[in-house]
């Protein structure tokens, strides 16, 4: 294992038959609660070890209770293993309480099995990274970006930063560039983290700036990302009865889709 913060903060340790231990590190949180994509990534690494397949083709996490920084225990269960795929479940507990349930199907994206290809999604047209706004925490500021932005470097398209200035543009969307702040290259294990690292889309539609509890997050990983910045686009199409969805697409440095995501969350709790 190398010394990159992500690898240290998502490391899992086998402790027995189908059981693992991990530590949720400080600084990967939003308002003191570990980021949902971060928690999913830790569980995904335990599942990948348990099924001995490197790439999470699809992972889904249902969040049952807020976690906190500190030790967690993970119990995995193999559902089915075939030649190409293996599916398994993980139960995540902290202090004896279940905080999340994860199911994932894993494989090896390096093995090319079919040369056919169809792609209609195109990267959004936004300014280059050095012309976008670098998001960084502001000490002692009540609406400072969360600590995770010190770990995951975000550069948001200027047109999508109006919510932070009190001038949201009215569209529930946000776009920008992302990478690890310490220079680590993104891999398939990390894509669920990037799928949940950006500010909520509905801030740009004039919703209150506040905590948006995630109920469920699903990420489909489509390729091993090329080295370089990720270009991310997130959009909400429906807010109803106190809940909202967020659809995301992550493009790698070649402009190809690396991952797609959908999240169900409660509408933001906070003040305008």
Mean pLDDT value of segment 168-196:
97
119 phi/psi in degrees, rounded to 5: -145, 120
Q: What is the pLDDT of residue 209?
A: 83
Query: What are 105-137's pLDDT values in tens digits?
Result: 999 998 866 778 888 999 999 999 999 999 987
- Distance linking the first and last C-alpha atoms of the chain: 44
Helix (H) or strand (E) holding 178: strand 173-180
The percent of residues in the chain predicted with pLDDT above 70, rounded, is 95
Distance CA 33, CA 24 (A): 10
Distance CA 12, CA 231 (A): 28
Q: What is the pLDDT of residue 138?
A: 66
Q: Which residues of 180-208 are buried (b: 16+ CB within 10 A; e: fewer)?
A: beeebebebbbbbbbbbbbbbbbbbbebe
Q: What is the pLDDT of residue 160?
A: 96
Query: What are 1-50's pLDDT values in tens digits?
Result: 468 999 999 999 999 999 999 999 999 998 889 999 999 999 999 999 99
pTM: 0.94
């Amino acid at each position: 294992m190398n010394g990159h913060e992500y690898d240290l903060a998502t490391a899992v340790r086998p402790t027995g038959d189908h059981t693992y231990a991990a530590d949720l590190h400080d600084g990967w949180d939003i308002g003191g609660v570990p980021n949902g994509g971060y928690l999913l990534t830790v569980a995904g690494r335990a599942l990948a070890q348990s099924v001995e397949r490197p790439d999470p083709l699809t992972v889904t996490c249902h969040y049952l209770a807020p976690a906190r920084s500190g030790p967690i225990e993970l119990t995995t269960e193999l559902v089915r293993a075939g030649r190409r795929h293996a599916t398994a479940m993980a139960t995540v507990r902290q202090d004896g309480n279940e905080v999340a349930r994860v199911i994932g199907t894993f494989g090896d994206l390096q093995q090319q099995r079919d040369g056919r290809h169809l792609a209609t999604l195109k990267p959004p047209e936004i300014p280059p990274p050095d012309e976008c706004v670098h998001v960084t925490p502001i000490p002692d500021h009540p609406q400072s970006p969360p600590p995770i932005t010190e770990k995951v470097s975000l550069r948001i398209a200027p047109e999508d930063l109006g919510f932070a200035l009190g001038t949201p543009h009215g569209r529930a969307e946000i776009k920008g560039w992302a990478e690890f702040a310490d220079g680590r290259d993104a891999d398939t294990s990390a894509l669920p983290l990037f799928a949940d690292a950006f500010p909520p889309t509905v801030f740009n539609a004039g919703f209150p700036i506040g905590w948006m509890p995630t109920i469920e997050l699903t990420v489909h990983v489509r390729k091993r990302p090329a080295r370089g910045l990720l270009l991310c686009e997130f959009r909400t199409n429906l807010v109803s009865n106190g809940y909202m969805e967020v659809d995301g697409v992550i493009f790698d440095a070649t402009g190809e889709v690396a991952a797609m995501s959908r999240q169900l969350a409660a509408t933001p709790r906070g003040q305008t």
